[in-house]
Amino acid sequence: MDMGLTGKRALVCASSKGLGLGCARALAGEGVHLVMNARGTEALAQAAQAIRDDFGVEVIEVATDITTADGQARALEAAGDVDILVNNAGGPPPGMWHDWNRDDFIKALDANMLTPIALMKALLPGMMERGWGRVVNITSQSVKSPIPVLGLSNSARAGLTGYVAGTARQVAGKGVTINNLLPGIHDTDRATALDQGAADTQGGTMQEARAQRCTTIPAGRYGTPDEFGAACAFLCSQHAGFIVGQNVLLDGGAVNSTL
| List of residues contacting ligand NAP (CB under 6 A) | 14-20, 37-40, 43, 65-67, 88-91, 138, 140-141, 183, 185-186, 188-191
What does the alpha-carbon distance between residue 101 and residue 122 come to, in Å, rounded to a whole number?
30
Nearer to ligand NAP, 141 or 167 (CB): 141
What does the alpha-carbon distance between residue 155 and residue 152 come to, in Å, rounded to a whole number?
5
Smallest distance from the beta carbon of 4 to ligand NAP, in angstroms?
26
Sheet holding 9-12, edge to edge: 59-63, 33-38, 9-12, 84-87, 133-138, 176-183, 247-250
Report how far Cα 169 is from the mean position of its chain's Cα atoms. Answer: 20
Q: How far is CA 99 from CA 7, 193, 224, in A?
A: 48, 20, 32
Nearer to ligand NAP, 105 or 132 (CB): 105
Report how far Cα 98 is from the mean position of its chain's Cα atoms. Answer: 28
Smallest distance from the beta carbon of 249 to ligand NAP, in angstroms?
10
What does the alpha-carbon distance between residue 198 and residue 248 come to, in Å, rounded to a whole number?
26
Smallest distance from the beta carbon of 134 to ligand NAP, in angstroms?
18
Nearer to ligand NAP, 44 or 236 (CB): 44
Smallest distance from the beta carbon of 2 to ligand NAP, in angstroms?
27
Nearer to ligand NAP, 157 or 171 (CB): 157
Nearer to ligand NAP, 72 or 177 (CB): 72
Smallest distance from the beta carbon of 40 to ligand NAP, in angstroms?
3
